[in-house]
Chain A
Amino acid sequence: MSAEHKLLKTVLWDFQVKELNATMGEFGGWEVPMMYTGIMKEHMIVRTDCGIYDVSHMGRVRMTGPDVIPLLQKVFTKDISKTKEYWMSGPTLALNEYARVKDDEMPYKVSDEEWLVVPNAPYREKMLKHFAKVARENGFKVNIEDLTFKLGMIAVQGPKTVEVFEKIGAGWVDDLRTLQFRMNEEIAGQKVFLISRSGWTGEDGFEIWAEPKAMIEIYRALLKAGAKPVGIICRDTIRIEMGFVLGGHEYGEDPKEFPPANSLRYGLGAIDWSKRGFIGEDALRAYRREGVRWIRVGIKMRKRHARAIIRQGYKLYVEDQCVGWVTSGTYSPYLKTTVGQAYVDSRYAIFGDYVEVEIRGKRYEGKILDFPLVPGRPVVK
């Protein structure tokens, strides 16, 4: 590692390396836990048991002031005016003027004048600058505070999660509805800045923000109660089969590389077409009027091609015509086959029909499906 390019370390770095013996690697400029006991094993832990992700590399930003709501309404495609206190608004998109996605985030409402947002790690600095610039240009009175280096964050996910919290005397977490959050609670005798019933896995689970020392104690208590550490590589395999998107794969700011935001078919109420005045609105409505050229779909390989791994960039064919490209792919140990996401020319995107994926010169059939590819998810409480 050269002196110029140093990776950022999260507040839980020491704990991960020395106590949990995590296999570390790079993501978005941070050194994060890639894996602990095995990627496929960890994927199954999240779907059948209870896994703990260290997501301290994600941004944690607090916004306060009289104009937070106008700022969020300008930056994001969702109408957040109806969000209630101590609820997350659901995922939404921040666009650039070409209607390409800068980041996908979920605002949390503490009060009209206090909100929290969680930018994705690679875009944290970009979004902090963007929020500040939009506030400045519009005369919005907002104070933006970066809490990323003050607090750690973990995501505890899987069907056995509530059981685990019950074992450590925090069974009250089951009272939270999905997307609801609380602040200043106590878990395992430690002060918790925030706990939300949320996650990026489609399973039941909670995300916790806490100061490093408290976070480590909570983490240790969860491990004792049967939760297991899971790394960022299985975070990717899990989100792929759910149909959740990742920057640099399904979206990006460059119009030469990525289709406009409506092609994403993001779902989950991320875009409120009834809302006016957000950045990128003109371009987005123009694309909507034109009709989309590409749409994002799920791909599930035929059983006999279960191990034909598809990856970003692989081309798709119908009757020898190239009709799109893969954006993400992986083998799913849960579905016992290879799955992925792709952009397909809207004229050929027939759900339930097959498309051929070219892998090193040979073609293998996969079915075009809508998301999620995992039955019975997302789990909503």
Chain B
Amino acid sequence: MSVVEFEVAGKKYLVRTDLRYTKTDEWAKKEDNKVREGITDYAQKELKDIVGVELPEVGAEVKKGEAIGALESVKATADLYATVSGKVVEVNERLLEEPELLNKDPYGEGWIVVIEMSNPKEYDELLTPEAYIEKCKKGEH
């Protein structure tokens, strides 16, 4: 696993090579039949200070691409999307008291949910680190 730095409009961002990504700036990590997800360094830098989160319920059935939670930055609310379909089996409750973890350590302690996959093929459909960097450089959302 390594960390890669890329630049967009003069600002630097990080991606991890062992993760997959979405166009909506989530990262996904395969853990057997589960996926752990969070938001990327690009997302947290664009949002700036995150001051609140809305987490899904443990046990909730979610569909890939569905809005399952929310991130409150100072200026706006951003939706959190499910990277895969399945059942939410774990949520990071620490974020309720310490949402700043999303800014400080987005790929580590800032993880948001763990989803048990109902369709493991969906993980392979996610963006590779290279494709995600391309997406950021193009400015797509």
Contact = CB atoms under 8 A, between A and B. Distances in A.
Given A307-B96, A307-B99, A39 B74 contact: yes
Interface in B49-78: 49, 51-54, 70, 72, 74-75, 77
Interface of A is mostly: mixed
Contacts of B94: none
Contacts of B74: 39, 233, 237, 330-331
| A308, A309, A330, A360 — most chain B CB neighbours (10 Å) | A309
B72 A233 contact: no
Chain B contact-residue range equals 10 to 19
Given A233-B74, A237-B74, A309 B48 contact: no
A360 B54 contact: yes
Interface in A154-190: none
Contact of B75 (A23, A233, A360): A233
A233 B47 CA distance: 12
A40 B100 contact: yes
Interface string B86-110: 0000000000110110010000000
Interface of B is mostly: mixed
B139 to A, nearest CB: 13
Interface of B: 48-49, 51-54, 70, 72, 74-75, 77, 96-97, 99-100, 103
Given A23-B48, A40-B100, A309-B52, 20 more contacts: A34-B48, A35-B48, A38-B49, A39-B49, A40-B51, A233-B48, A233-B74, A233-B75, A307-B53, A307-B72, A307-B97, A307-B99, A309-B51, A309-B72, A309-B77, A311-B77, A331-B74, A338-B52, A360-B54, A360-B77
Interface of A: 23, 34-35, 38-40, 233, 237, 307-309, 311, 330-331, 338, 360
